[in-house]
């Protein structure tokens, strides 16, 4: 005898109509009730048989930064996508990745998708100043969630971020507590909000410890150097070369390690390095990098949670979520 929805409702302790609404993933049903009903379905082996129009999956677009290849080389974006996909799978949403060589190419894709109702909401995996992608989504009234601190429309934007100022401040103070006072900063362009905040945290820590912030100790590059960067080479060649460098991303730290090898500098004996993201690169370098773990997967999970919540509850106010960070000690820093 086949299992019926009434059997599921009886086992879950709910009415048949509630069980039916759980099958349709109705947002009016609490998470706890949904879990109870789905557990009963699994226990009884019940497979819902819904009409086609009720089984159409909603779709979330994941917007990566424009670039020919860097987006897919950076483990941060892959971890974020993993978090988004994990949450979407659990809540029966589809997701699609959107990127391009430049902003114009991404905009063309977005205009097509919005015009043809292909996506119910977007997650923008980065935040930068004066971004035409954000301007388009905001002006069109399209639902979007930003991973990173919003630069424009902050009060109307749902965003998920780390406290990058605090994280960089704590990282710099870690180096100071090891005895370093000549500390440099290497990061991506301050046009990116996370990098601007990490530089601010670095500067704040130095000022709090009455250490002068030297402009020549701050290097910002628009991309990860594939060969020796003149700016990095000049920094490492200084007579009063820094004893430690805070780096805004593990990929930049890998490039920095390569430059040190080419200049016969030993890490950490000649230079301590502390980076961000705690990606696979941090674990595979020699020596492995001390790095700030920003919980990239959790950033993706929280972003997906927010966009789905706002899809199903359109009148919610814009939410700001801060995901905690932690410092992971390895072997790239030394006590003076």
Mean pLDDT computed over 118-123: 93
Phi and psi angles of residue 184, each rounded to the nearest 5 degrees, phi first: -105, 170
Full strand arrangement of the beta sheet holding 320-322:
93-98, 58-63, 121-124, 144-147, 158-161, 320-322
**53: confidence class by pLDDT, cuts 50, 70, 90:** very low
The domains of the chain, with CATH numbers, are 5-54 (1.10.260.40), 58-162+296-324 (3.40.50.2300), 164-293 (3.40.50.2300)
- The bridge status of strand 290-293 relative to strand 326-328 is antiparallel
Query: Does the structure show a pLDDT above 90 at 9?
Result: no
**227: confidence class by pLDDT, cuts 50, 70, 90:** low
Least confident stretch, 83-92, 156-165, 215-224: 215-224
Q: Which of 21-35, 53-67, 71-85, 262-276 has the highest mean pLDDT?
A: 262-276
Query: Does the structure show a pLDDT above 70 at 17?
Result: no
Burial class (CB in 10 A: 0-12, 13-18, 19+), 294: buried
What is the dihedral sign for C-alpha 255, 295, 63, 219? Answer: negative
Q: Please state, as a whole number, how many other Cβ atoms lie within 10 Å of the Cβ of residue 231.
A: 15
Which pLDDT value is given to residue 29?
Answer: 72
Q: Are 119 and 145 in contact (CB under 8 A)?
A: no
Extended strands (E) in 99-207: 121-124, 144-147, 158-161, 183-188
Least confident stretch, 168-172, 230-234, 272-276: 230-234
**58: confidence class by pLDDT, cuts 50, 70, 90:** confident
How far, in Å, are 43, 50, 212 from residue 3 at the CA level?
11, 15, 73
Q: Are 164 and 198 in contact (CB under 8 A)?
A: yes
Quote the CA–CA distance of 84 and 79 in Å, as a whole number. Answer: 9
Q: Of 88, 76, 90, 86, whose CA–CA distance to 121 is shortest? A: 88
Which pLDDT value is given to residue 52?
Answer: 43
Looking at every residue in the chain, the average pLDDT score rounds to 90
Extended strands (E) in 227-271: 244-247
Q: What percent of the chain has pLDDT over 90?
A: 68
Query: Does the structure show a pLDDT above 60 at 144?
Result: yes
Any alpha helices (H) in 96-163, and if so which ranges? 103-115, 132-139
Which pLDDT value is given to residue 54?
Answer: 46
Which pLDDT value is given to residue 228?
Answer: 60
Query: Does the structure show a pLDDT above 90 at 18?
Result: no
Quick one: tokens of 166?
Answer: 């605090």
Query: Does the structure show a pLDDT above 80 at 333?
Result: yes
Quick one: tokens of 238?
Answer: 């200084």
Which pLDDT value is given to residue 245?
Answer: 98
Query: Does the structure show a pLDDT above 60 at 55?
Result: no
**8: confidence class by pLDDT, cuts 50, 70, 90:** confident
Is the model more confident about 228 or about 224? 224
């Amino acid at each position: 005898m086949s299992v019926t929805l009434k059997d599921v409702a009886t086992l879950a302790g709910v009415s048949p109509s509630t069980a039916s609404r759980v099958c349709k993933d109705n947002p009016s049903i609490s998470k706890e009730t949904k879990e109870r009903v789905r557990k009963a379905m699994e226990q009884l082996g019940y497979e819902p048989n819904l009409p086609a129009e009720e089984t159409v999956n909603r779709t979330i677009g994941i917007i990566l930064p424009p670039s020919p290849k860097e987006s897919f080389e950076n483990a941060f974006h892959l971890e974020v996508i993993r978090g988004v996909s994990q949450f979407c799978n659990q809540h029966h949403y589809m997701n699609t990745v959107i990127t391009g060589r430049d902003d114009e190419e991404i905009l063309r894709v977005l205009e097509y998708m919005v015009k043809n109702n292909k996506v119910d909401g977007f997650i923008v995996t980065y935040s930068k100043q004066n971004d035409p992608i954000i301007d388009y989504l905001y002006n069109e009234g399209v639902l979007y969630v930003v991973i990173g601190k919003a630069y424009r429309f902050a009060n109307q934007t749902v965003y998920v971020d780390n406290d990058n100022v605090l994280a960089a401040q704590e990282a710099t103070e870690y180096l100071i507590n090891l005895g370093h006072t000549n500390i440099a900063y290497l990061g991506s362009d301050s046009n990116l909000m996370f990098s601007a905040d990490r530089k601010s945290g670095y500067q704040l820590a130095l000022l709090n410890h009455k250490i002068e912030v030297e402009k020549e100790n701050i290097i910002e590059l628009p991309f990860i150097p594939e060969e020796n960067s003149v700016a990095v080479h000049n920094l490492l060649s200084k007579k009063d070369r820094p004893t430690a460098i805070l780096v805004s991303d593990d990929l930049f730290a890998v490039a920095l390690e390569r430059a040190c090898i080419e200049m016969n500098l030993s890490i950490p004996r000649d230079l301590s390095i502390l980076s961000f993201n705690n990606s696979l690169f941090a674990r595979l370098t020699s020596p492995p990098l001390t790095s700030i773990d920003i919980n990239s997967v959790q950033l993706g999970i929280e972003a997906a949670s927010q966009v789905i919540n706002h899809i199903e509850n359109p009148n919610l106010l814009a939410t700001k979520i801060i995901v905690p960070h932690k410092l992971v000690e390895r072997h790239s820093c030394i006590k003076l």
